[in-house]
Amino acid sequence: MTAIPLTSTPSFQALETHAVEAEDWEMRHLFAADPQRFERMSIEAAGLFLDYSKNRLDGRTLELLASLARERGVEARRDAMFAGEKINNTENRAVLHTALRAPRDAQLSVDGQDVSADVHAVLARIKTFTDAVRSGDWLGHTGKPITDIINIGIGGSDLGPKMVCLALRQYSHPSLTMHFVSNVDGHDMDAALEKVNPETTLFIIASKTFTTAETMMNAQTARMWFLAHAQEEALAKHFVAVSTNVEAIKKFGIDPANMFPFWDWVGGRYSVWSAIGLPVALAVGFGYFSDFLAGAHAMDQHFRTAAVEENMPMLLALVGFWNRQFLGCTSVSIAPYHQDLNRFPAYLQQLDMESNGKRVTREGEPVDTPTCPAIWGEPGTNGQHAYFQLLHQGTDVTPIDFIAALRPAHELQNHHTALLANCFAQSEAFMKGKTIDEVRLDLQGQGLSLGEIERLAPHKTFPGNRPSNTILMEYLTPATLGALIALYEHKTFVQGVLWDLNSFDQWGVELGKVLAKQVEAELKGEPRPEQHDSSTNGLIARAKAAV
């Protein structure tokens, strides 16, 4: 059934009218008029706290957004996802990453298959394997324990495990070093192999499809490198695979006993909870990996049961939708004020943009509004000294998500105080800005001449009124990290439903893959009449001349 176009829904139309009224709103005045604004526009769930009060909206905006969510059927689609319905309609697949973190007694089956039993059987294997590697019982072919793990994968088979391993650095095994190779650029593999010893290295070949060109090439290179130092029989001690494609892993030469499976109902960018999280379980141990899953499950429970108005992922999604749709914001900046979350923005780029970077609805009709904004960011204080200039005074308004832990995992309290001070001060500055009159007063106080004051004042004025959210947790732990990722997964899902997108396919990555195969054949010398545009032909010719 074709959904009503977004712009034809009564709530959207009411929001359009409301947005015109809201055009002149100044957040500093909204705060002054309502001393309860922070209490009213903040929420706690699953160990996280979200303050969304520094957005250019009011109670009425939130009411209209909540009605829109209901009109677009967000709750029904959420329930369909949790129930295992095939909501990924272009691939005819269920979407069940939430089942990967549900307890053993959760009842769920897809096509007659007991999903819970399958998930927990693989978790048990992950436990046995990771315990053996971590304890030193799993030995390399010359009898030495494993010291280095190289995960070979790309996209969802890299970004999640890499981001989480970095984020949970404090929980990691002291003598296991994790490496991640994703890029087909040989510099990536070369740099990793330089650091490791084949006797003590374990390779994880992580690929849902086990056909991804970059991963297959990197896996073959790793295999050849290993076989230059050891016999074929030794492979079983040093290569394991994570995939849904058992035939392909056999063909590659990995024993299915060394394969950790997952299922087609787990999307690549939602897969860190599956066996794709093997590097995480190796790094932090199965106990903390279970805590990570439990944190995400706590957020799932909240998302599943809380009313729209009290539902953290829905609120984050609705506020983001307002900023995108009615304030015209084309990108969102993610600012973790926690060094260990430094890969979190990159992780969210795939999660959000591969999910909602779409221009047709679930039924293939062109969308009638803009969809996913671009997602980007860096750890906050570093960003402050790089691109925050544009965020404060540039011509585009970019909403920011500030993310911080209230307590550090170190004893350098003065550093942590400075970090939090920066985080909170930035959100205040974005909201309040500094008017030209305030700037003039400041400059007068410094004893500047009138001419100097008028020359400098426009440069020192901050428009303010720039939206941000702040997400806090007590500590960055496996559980709070799990909840944080699940929060963004569900936010992405809700926005996809508002736009009526299929957030679980990614056809947009295919064209480049097909063309790359053709160009690669040409670069290798396959004779072809010049068949591209003059730019592509010219670039190919230059590369061939350089060989």
Ligand X SMILES: O=P(O)(O)OC[C@H]1O[C@](O)(CO)[C@@H](O)[C@@H]1O
Active-site residue among 354, 378, 489, 522?
354
CA separation for the pair 535, 543 (Å, rounded)? 12
Determine the residue type at 222: A
Angle, alpha carbons 21-51-298 (nearest 5°): 125
Cβ proximity to ligand X: between 22 and 154 the closer is 154
CB of 349 to ligand X, least distance (A): 12
Shortest Å distance, C-beta 210 to ligand X: 7
CA distance 303 to 283: 29
Q: Which stretch binds ligand X (CB under 6 A): 204-212, 310-318, 377-385, 535-543?
A: 204-212
Q: How many CA atoms lie within 13 A of 420 on its CB side?
A: 15
Residues 6+ apart with CB under 8 A from 201: 140, 146, 147, 148, 149, 150, 226, 238
**How far is 254 from 205, CA to CA, in rounded Å?**
10
Q: Which of 29, 144, 415, 513 is catalytic?
A: 513
d(CA 208, CA 216): 12
User: Is residue 263 within 8 Å of 244, Cβ to Cβ?
Assistant: yes
CB of 208 to ligand X, least distance (A): 4
- Interface with ligand X: number of residues (CB under 6 A): 14
Q: Measured from the CB atom, is 179 or 269 closer to ligand X? A: 269
Is 506 among the residues that bind ligand X (CB under 6 A)?
yes
Among positions 326-355, residues that touch ligand X (CB under 6 A) are 354
Catalytic residue check, 513? yes
Residues numbered 439 to 478 that lie near ligand X (CB under 6 A) are: none
Contact between 272 and ligand X by CB under 6 A: the answer reads no
432 in contact with ligand X (CB under 6 A): no
Query: Is residue 279 within the footprint of ligand X (CB under 6 A)?
Result: no
Among 55, 182, 201, 212, which residue interacts with ligand X (rule: CB under 6 A)?
212
Q: Which is nearer to ligand X, 191 or 509 (CB)?
A: 509
Task: Please name which of 142, 141, 124, 131 lies closest in space to residue 173, comparing C-alpha atoms.
Answer: 131
Whether residue 29 lies in the annotated active site: no
From residue 390, alpha-carbon distances to 260, 438, 467, 468 in Å are 45, 21, 14, 15
Q: Is 354 a catalytic residue?
A: yes
The answer to whether residue 155 forms part of the interface with ligand X (CB under 6 A) is yes
Is residue 161 a contact residue for ligand X (CB under 6 A)? Answer: no
Q: How far is the CB of 157 from ligand X (least distance, A)?
A: 4
Q: How many CA atoms lie within 13 A of 425 on its CB side?
A: 10
**Residue 487 C-alpha from the chain's centroid:** 10
The 115-154 site mask, x for binding ligand X (CB under 6 A), equals: ---------------------------------------x
Of the residues 130, 157, 356, 492, which one makes contact with ligand X according to CB under 6 A: 157
Pairwise CA distance, residues 371 & 499, whole Å: 7
The contact set with ligand X (CB under 6 A) reads 154-157, 207-209, 212, 215, 268-269, 354, 506, 509
Active site residues: 354, 385, 513
